[in-house]
Amino acid sequence: MTQLAEGIEQFTVIQKLTLMVNRYEIRSVSGDGQPGLLLAVAQQKRAAFKEQVTFYQDELRTLPIFSFKARQRLDLGATYDVLDANGQPIGSFRKDFGKSLLRSTWHLEASGLKVTGSERSLGVAIGRRIWEATPIGDAVPSPFRFHFDFVDSNGEVLMMSERGRSLRDRYLITLPGARLDGRVAAAMAVALDALQSR
């Protein structure tokens, strides 16, 4: 059983820059707010025909512990299933394409919970879209620090993803009360980075 499945309230997601793949480290958070112990490593092939990202327990990627994959190929509104180590579904998420034209919005389900996540700041959402439309948008990392809040139907926050000040993408993920499965939250957090421009 991974620490992410045992009820976790905070972890970090750090993107590692490589040529052929997007690689992410999921780490615990130390007392001073810095990244701590390695909880999982994820890897995504760039321009994969059908999205699938596997999370491993170790740096050598020998023991898969969970994953997410698209139900359909090349679909802007695709639903992604989050699967445990045995391939059993533990949650799902999808992008709300219509609402995402102005402010990125995702729908997430896990353990009987249904939450909707959207970019916290409309101004940052618009600024980020303008930046990505410029000729340097693909070559130079976005200067915008975008954050997402995931709330249930009562308006209660179940997950926050906050981008830190860093050259490489680094996010602090907070799960108030640890109500959301940490594996599903980690999958969603990586998807927010890896799939955001789609």
What is the three-state SS of 28-39? EECCCCCEEEEE
Mean pLDDT to the nearest integer, 88-99 = 88
Cα(19)–Cα(12) distance, integer angstroms: 22
pLDDT at 198: 42
Task: Tell me the residue type at 193.
Answer: D
Confidence of residue 74 (pLDDT cuts 50, 70, 90): low
**pLDDT for 121 beyond 90:** no
Mean pLDDT to the nearest integer, 98-120 = 84
**pLDDT for 51 beyond 80:** no
Cα(80)–Cα(92) distance, integer angstroms: 5
Place of tokens 């109500």: 179
Query: Residue 55 carries which DSSP code?
Result: E
Low-confidence winner among 10-24, 35-49, 57-71 (lowest mean pLDDT): 35-49
How confident is the model over 180-198, as pLDDT tens digits? 999 999 999 999 888 765 4
Low-confidence winner among 19-23, 87-91, 134-138 (lowest mean pLDDT): 134-138
For 131, phi then psi, to 5°, come to -60, -45
pLDDT at 43: 81
Mean pLDDT to the nearest integer, 123-143 = 58
Sort residue 87 into left (φ over 0), alpha (ψ -120 to 50) or beta: left
What is the model's pTM? 0.83
**pLDDT for 173 beyond 70:** yes
pLDDT at 124: 59
Angle at 63 between CA 60 and CA 67, to 5 degrees: 105
Cα(184)–Cα(19) distance, integer angstroms: 27
**pLDDT for 16 beyond 70:** yes
Task: Tell me the residue type at 59.
Answer: E
**pLDDT for 21 beyond 60:** yes
Output 16 or 103, whichever has higher pLDDT.
16
**pLDDT for 98 beyond 90:** no
Torsion of Cα atoms, 148 then 152 then 156 then 159, to 10°: -40
